[in-house]
Structure 1
Amino acid sequence: MAWTSILAIFALFWVMSAFVMLPFGVKTHEELGVEKVPGQADSAPANFRPGRLVLRATGIAIVLTALYVLNYEYGWIGVDDINFFPDPPPLEDQLGDRD
């Protein structure tokens, strides 16, 4: 696999994990007992830390990318392994004798 493909897969995993991790650990001003700014939304976070989010998303993306690349190289899970539906019978068997 080319390094550019690995980089693209890492970027996809990073963005996905960053959006999934976004709501975790964030508290509102009311939950922390901090005074709000006039006009501020009630749901606005009071303790948003983008640096921590970036580190967590990077760690998760590294692990997921490594698993993806290793699965690509060694073929642990293939298309046949996740095909839960059996192959349909041939068309001739479905049509039967029409003569």
Structure 2
Amino acid sequence: MGVVSALAIYFVIWWTVLFAILPMGVRSQAETGDIVPGTVHSAPAAPALGRKALLTTLISALVFGAFYASTQIFGFGLDDLPRIIPGT
């Protein structure tokens, strides 16, 4: 796997994990009772994007590490799925 391919795969993993993490722990302005004028009541009160970006980076590194190990070290690929998943 080349560097550009690895970066592209990591980029896709990072965005996928980000969209999975974004809604976690978010409370709306209506739930907290602190509604900023001009915003929707369902807008997040404190989204903590920096912490979520860091958490996304750490989880993505673990997922990419598992992907890299399974494909490059252990040699698994998409062609091996029929042998791993019986009945396909």
One-letter code aligned to 1:4: V
Q: Deviations over 1:54-73 (max 9, x none)?
A: 10110111001000010002
Q: What's 1:68 paired with?
A: 67
Q: Moved runs in structure 1, 4+ residues, more than 3 A?
A: none
- Provide the alpha-carbon RMSD of the alignment: 1.7
Size of the aligned set, in residue pairs, is 84
Task: Give the drift of 1:3.
Answer: 1.7
1:49 & 1:84 partners in 2: Cα distance? 45
What percentage of aligned pairs have identical amino acids? 32
Q: What's 1:23 paired with?
A: 23
Q: What's 1:96 paired with?
A: none
Q: 1:84 to 1:22 in 2, by over 3 A?
A: farther
Unaligned 5+ runs, structure 1: 86-99
Unaligned 5+ runs, structure 2: none
TM-score, L = length of structure 1: 0.74
Task: Give the drift of 1:83.
Answer: 5.3
